[in-house]
Structure 1
Amino acid sequence: MRKKIKSSGKHLGLIIGILLIATSLRAPFTSVAPLLESIRDDFSLSAARAGVLQTLPLLAFALFSPLAAGFGRRLGMERTLFVALLIVVAGIVIRSCAGLAGLFGGTLLIGLGIALGNVLLPGLLKRDLPHRAASLTGLYALTMGLAAALASAVMIPFTTFFHTGWSSALLMTLALPMVALIVWLPRLKRDPVAATHGAAHPHAPARVWRSGLAWQVSLFFGLNSVIYYIIVSWLPAMLQNLGFTAAQAGSLHGVLQLASAIPGFFIGSIVARLRDQRVLGVAIALTGAVGLTGLLMLPVLATLWVVLIGISTGAGIILGLAFISLRAGNAVQAAALSGMAQCVGYLLAAGGPPLAGLLHDRMDGWTVPLTVCTLLALAQAVMGYLAGRQRVLVSE
């Protein structure tokens, strides 16, 4: 009985630590958007350079994600996650305190730290809580989204109430990784080499890139990501082009963010109950396709379409992360698959918004970009069916 209670306490501490790390995996960079105009004014940044600032974290995710599994094997997952939080802390401080170079350099460091955390959390769940990985993926995705929404919401009120600038507001996000560091500190006592079982699977990262199933998981995650970042970047402009006022477009953009958080309450538990995820993968993607088509064909019902798009992309992120744990045969393989999926996903995500903007300029409207997004959602449905089959990488 005492052993069972001790085990439950150990798992509770692990879950709390994972959720606290999750609060630091989106908020430090999404909190920049509300303050972007103030940042531009302070440094006289062009729109293009401000766009680079917003894209830097996505590029960091893409570039550093494939390296995270290797660090996890060498240092141990616990220690690598601790280092990731330290890098995020350093990035936040440098971004707020070191001028223009620090703004870009600190943002890149934040992206590096978040990339390590993004990749290793699915592997940690696969290793320590394999039977609860799907439901806990939904929970930490929800925590990540709520922390990001809260951080974004308080940026402007903070600067107004305390009569301070953007740098102080962004420095406030330091609280999230600092709390996570303190709570995670006891996890460092774990043996880093034995904990990851790295020696037993030295070639896992190379193998996943040659796996058809790994590509199906990666493309499901990637197509969902590119749709999400195109819509989250351009929805206000799309809506204004369709006849909505700037205030209405801004409100609907908030509805999109809220709707994308909703699946975190239920998708994880649904995934955990299913024998396979084919129907769910197809349904999530087709929901997005319906929303995108509706926005194009019947914009008067924009609120409905925006909610559908938000639910689809939010659920797609969670299912994509769950696929990483479900399709991997062991923790090292899960980390390698996570690195591959997030590399592919964020490369697509980083290129999506500029390409959509280019199509808008060339075609003088949003019809073609929205049509392309709809086709991407249909392709995502195919990947969802394939990735949702009850298979694991070790059987290939």
Structure 2
Amino acid sequence: MTPSSPWHGRSLLLAGAIVLVALNLRPALSSVGPVLNEIMAGLGLSAAQASWLTTLPVLCLGLFGPLAPRLARIVGTDRLILAMLVVLAAAIALRGAHTPLALFIGTAVGGLAIGAVNVLLPGVLKRDYPGHAVAMTGVMTMAMCGGAAVAAGATVPLMNRLDGDWAAALAWWVVPALIAIVAWAPFALRGKRGGKAGGVLPVVGLWRDKVAWQVTLFMGMQSSLAYCVFGWLAPILRDRGISAVEAGLMVSVSVLCQLPTALVTPSLAGRARDQRLAVVLTQCGTAIGLMGCMLAPLSLIWGFAVILGLAQGASFATALSLIVLRSGDSHIAAHLSGMAQGVGYSVSAMGPLLVGLIHQQTGSWGPVAGLFLAIGALALIAGLGAGRRRTVGARVEGHASAA
């Protein structure tokens, strides 16, 4: 039975489990940047190799994302989420080994698991909260931002408490993953929720639809900037003369500032005639925040970090909301989510990679600022198309019910 509201009884318990799952979709990514300098020194990695470390999980998010709806048809959406949480926990634990192979494999496998859960959750919200999917999108996005913020801010202090052991600090984030497994298991293994009835029906016509591609490119471009921030903002700030702890804290505060805008943006976007104004405001705010962090006097950077966080929280929430708002039912939402996050994250992976390569070739962060502006411009163009009030021209195969 579909919950009628996320705010009472069993629906509240399910909402809590969704929040705990969402909390774990960013720590494996945002925990690396603050200790990237220590990782490079400890393992002897070059800037180019480090760029692959920040790129690999995002690329894996994109590669595995489109497969998630197909696997969900076989094992069920909820059971697949549970399985991917177990895989994520194992991957995070593997990064505790002090070897490049363990670090890269753990990072890649963690990206695969996160990619699957990323894709499936919007469909879960559309299915279980049909009258509150947009509001729940805000809650889910806020939880994802919260997890990213805590990991970005706490990883360096954890490393310091663990006698400078960056690998142990990265592995510590297995703890919240295990908590999420315990919280989600009762819903995944109970009755029809865990079986094929919880799967996703096939959808046709999606990959030929212009709106779907606009949603996909907007997701990809804004995500590229987000993962550049996760992976490279702390090293950029440290090169500007900010201490490791303060740089990690600054990234953490910036991501924490994403929470309020991530929570309220989906509801505001859902009530608006269309979402083009949201796209313009979020991309302009992101550009201002990034340029300020990279170029402004050090005394002003905290303010620009706050602006960056507010804008990126709203940007990510807008991207997820577009998946829900442009979909006719939960099955289309799951497949559009797979397309947007699969192709989108594959494209966005180029951002962190190019940051490392450009910095290694030029020895400067100036050209990287130009890269950020170019990515932001592409996000703006795609978002203006995706923000128009339309739905994707796809249908559920066999004319299945959209309920």
**Is residue 195 of structure 1 aligned with residue 198 of structure 2?**
yes
The answer on whether the counterparts of 1:155 and 1:170 sit within 8 Å (CA) in structure 2 is: yes
User: CA 1:94–1:386 in 2, change beyond 3 Å: closer, same or farther?
Assistant: same
1:245-394 correspondence to structure 2 within 5 Å:
245-247=241-243, 250=247, 253-291=251-289, 302-359=301-358, 366-394=365-393
Decide whether aligned partners of structure 1 residues 309 and 10 sit closer, same or farther in structure 2, where only a CA change above 3 A counts.
same
SS in structure 2 of the partner of residue 142 of structure 1: helix
Q: Indicate the residue corresponding to 1:23 in structure 2.
A: 23
Aligned to 1:149: 149
Distance 1:333 1:341 in 2: 12
**Equivalent residue for 2:398?**
none
> Equivalent residue for 2:61?
61
Q: 1:185 Cα deviation (Å)?
A: 1.5
Give the TM-score normalised by structure 1: 0.85
Letter aligned with residue 260 of structure 1: Q
Hey, what's the Cα distance between the residues in 1 that align with 2:21 and 2:79? Answer: 13
Structure 2 unaligned spans of 5+: 396-403
Change (3 A) 1:216 1:240: same
Once structures 1 and 2 are overlaid, which stretch shifts more, 179-188 or 115-124? 179-188
Residue type of the alignment partner of 1:310:
G
Query: 1: distance between equivalents of 2:42 and 2:181?
Result: 32
Q: Secondary structure at the match of 1:216?
A: helix
Q: Give the 3 Å change call, closer, same or farther, for CA 18–222 of structure 1 in structure 2.
A: same
1:226-260 CA distances to partner (integer Å, 9 max, x unpaired)? 2333455454676688xx53349836545533433
| 1:171-198 alpha-carbon deviations (Å, 9 max, x no partner) | 3212212111112122122422223352
- Tell me what 2:133 maps to: 133
**315-324 or 24-33: which moved more?**
24-33
Deviates more, 1:332-341 or 1:158-167: 158-167
Which has more helix, going by share of residues? Answer: 1
CA pair 4-218 structure 1, distance change in 2 beyond 3 A:
closer
CA distance 1:360–1:268, shift in 2 (3 Å)? same
Distance 1:257 1:183, change over 3 A: closer
1:214 corresponds to: 212
| 1:346 positional shift | 1.8
Q: Is the 2:33–2:231 Cα contact (8 Å) retained in structure 1?
A: no
Q: Is the CA contact 2:261–2:313 (under 8 Å) kept in the aligned structure 1?
A: yes
Please tell me whether the aligned partners of residues 283 and 311 of structure 2 are also in contact (alpha carbons under 8 angstroms). Answer: yes
Cα RMSD for the two superposed structures: 3.2
- SS state at 1:96 partner: coil
Paired letter, 2:197: A
**CA 193–254 in structure 1, closer or farther in 2 if over 3 Å, else same:** closer
How far is 1:52 from its partner? 2.2
Length, aligned pairs only: 387
- Percent sequence identity is 34
Gaps of 5+ in 1: none
Residue equivalent to 2:181:
181
Q: Aligned-pair distance for 1:76?
A: 1.2
Q: TM-score, normalised by structure 2?
A: 0.83
State the SS of the aligned residue for 2:208.
coil
Aligned CA distance change for structure 1 residues 194 and 33 (closer, same or farther; 3 Å): same
1:82-161 residue pairs with structure 2 within 5 A?
82-97=82-97, 99-161=99-161
